[in-house]
Structures are given as C-alpha cells and as structure tokens.
Structure 1
Amino acid sequence: MLTAALVATLSGCTAIVPMEPADDANNPGCADVIVRLPDSVGGLDRRETNAQATGAWGSPASVLLYCGVEVPSASTTRCIEVDGVFWLVDGDDEPRYILTSYGREPAIDVVVDTEVVGATPVLIDLQRAVSFTTPNGHECTDLDDADVIDSSGR
C-alpha cells in the first residue's frame, strides 16, 4: 500500500526545468527577486529550475525568468510600463516574447510563450518581485507612445 502511494505521489511530480544562469546571476539583487517570486503567474504554477537566479512556470514551461542578464542601455526597442516597472519588448521570435526590465539593476529577462499565456498578466504577477531591483535612473523616454499598464485600475 505504501509503495502504491509513493508511486502515485512521485508520478504527480513535474520534472525540473533545465535552464542556464545569466552572467550576473550571483548579483545579490537577484536573491531579493528570487525569494519573492510568486507561486503562479498568469494562472501557471511555478516549477523548480536547476540554475541560480531563474524561475519557470507552466507545464510545459511557458514562462521563464532569468535574473542577472545584461543591463540594457538606451534603446529604440518598444518599451512598456507595467505597474511602475519599464520593460523592453522583443517580439522577433513571436509568439515567444522576451521582455527585459529597463531602468533597474540587476536586469531581468522574462520569456513568455504567448500561445499559452499573455505577457501582461505575467508581468503584473511578477511586479512585486521585480520591484525589489534597484532603479538606475533610465526610463522609457516617450511614454506618450508607450503602453502603460496599471493593474490597480488607476
């Protein structure tokens, strides 16, 4: 009976998501983010990863987070603001989007498969954790052309 219960328990486990850490994954600011990552984003459950300063959600993993990526400098890439956090949006590999935090250090990449989940709900759910990174003074320069998303309804 115990063996059957153990097999049933283990078969319900999901595999660890293999990931590579970003170059600056050892940045202490990444630890502040990782310990605050939510259990779910966009309705997808969090998964265990095998790399420092990373996060994954969904089965199969449809949202990946890498803390400690290269801090972006001034850019002409589309920029959005979600609950006070700026994000550069790379949709070159649509429907997979790479969203890079902008104006904060350490920088974070969030990779979203938009065939599974929308990028906006994911960024809203990650906002609290990402807000623990340090602002570096950079902002989206033309907010008149940027998408500004405020989940509080203000």
Structure 2
Amino acid sequence: MLTWGRGRWLVPACLALGLLTACSPTVTLQPGPFAPDPVCAAVIQLLPAELAGRPQVSTTAQATVAWGATDAITLRCGVENPPPTTDRCVTVEAGGSAVDWINPEADSPLLPPNALAEGGAWTFITYGRTPAIEVVIPAATGIEQPTAVLVDLAPAIQRAPASRFCVEATTLVP
C-alpha cells in the first residue's frame, strides 16, 4: 500500500496553485508618469476588491487596478493632470465630500488608448487632484450609470489632495 507523508502533498498543492495563478486574467495597462507617487500607493490600497459586481484582477503596471476579466474597468493613478479644458466637469459627492472629474469628449486628446476600444468607453480623469487619476469604463460592461462607479471609488480617490475644483459655466466671466 502506498502512503503519502505530509511533505509529499506539498508538491501537488504547489503545482495546483501555480496552475490556478497562471489562469488568472491579467489586464495590460501602461503606468502613468507619476505612478511612483506615494499618494498613488495610498489610493490603490483603499480601492474596493469588487466594483460593479466585478472582481479585482491583476494588471501589468504600477499604480493600476482593473476589475473584471473581460471589458475591464480600469484605474490608473499618476496620470498627467489635465490642462484647462472645455470638456465636461462633473462633481461626484460621496461620504461627505466631493471629487471632481473631467469627462473627455470622444475626440479629446485626453483619452487614453484603452478608452478608444471598439464600442466606446466612459473616461473620467480627476480634476484638481495631484496625482491625477483616470478611470475607464468600457461601454461593453453594460453599466448604465457610470458615475455610480465613481461614487464607489470616492473614498480611495479622496486620498489624493484637491487643490482646484470644477467651476460652473455660469460663473465664468466673458
């Protein structure tokens, strides 16, 4: 009769774990130029493990997170701060404070490459926060209220200090 000692189960267990890890999806992203900023580390640590019913998955770049194996919602911390723009700026209130986001138009130079996928995507870039943070929500996710995703991200995003805020068009002087 063949008997297995406790140590003999270690090899098959490690092999099984390795196979499971190899099958886990990984989303390819480019890091932002300011990804090494310590604020990004604080933001990333506070992000939810699940977003819009999608589990967090591995990414290939520092200061990035993705949720969902296909049509992943992505977040990159440490992207370039957006310049003055006429793109829509929205304020998302959550947890007693607000986060301002620029929502670039389809032809905006602010759009990252992963937002240009077939079918389109909602792209949001924090306004007035350093480092800037970008969120891309592919249309293929079927999420009808993309700003609801921003509400869920707000507690983490608030770790990046705000120095500027959206202004309403009515407050601009001609």
Shorter-chain TM-score bucket reads 0.7 to 0.9
Q: Which has the larger radius of gyration?
A: 2
Name the structure 2 match of 1:115: 140
**Contact 1:91/1:97 (8 A) holds in 2:** no
Q: Name the structure where helix makes up a greater proportion of residues.
A: 2
Measured on the aligned residues, the alpha-carbon RMSD in Å equals 2.6
| 1:51 CA drift (Å) | 0.8
**Contact 2:25/2:69 (8 A) holds in 1:** no
Of 147, 153, 159, which aligns to 1:132? 159
Give the secondary-structure state (helix, strand or coil) at the position aligned to 1:75: coil
Q: Number of residue pairs matched?
A: 142
Task: Give structure 1 stretches of 5+ with no counterpart.
Answer: 145-154
| 1:61 CA drift (Å) | 4.1
Q: Deviations over 1:63-83 (max 9, x none)?
A: 111100111232211011111
Task: Give structure 2 stretches of 5+ with no counterpart.
Answer: 1-8, 107-115
Q: Deviations over 1:7-44 (max 9, x none)?
A: 8x728942222211111101111111011111111121
**Are 1:44 and 2:54 counterparts?**
yes
Q: Name the structure where strand makes up a greater proportion of residues.
A: 1
Q: Per the alignment, do residues 61 and 14 of structure 1 end up closer, same or farther by CA in structure 2, a change over 3 Å counting?
A: farther
**Contact 1:41/1:121 (8 A) holds in 2:** no
Give the secondary-structure state (helix, strand or coil) at the position aligned to 2:59: coil
Paired-residue identity, %: 35
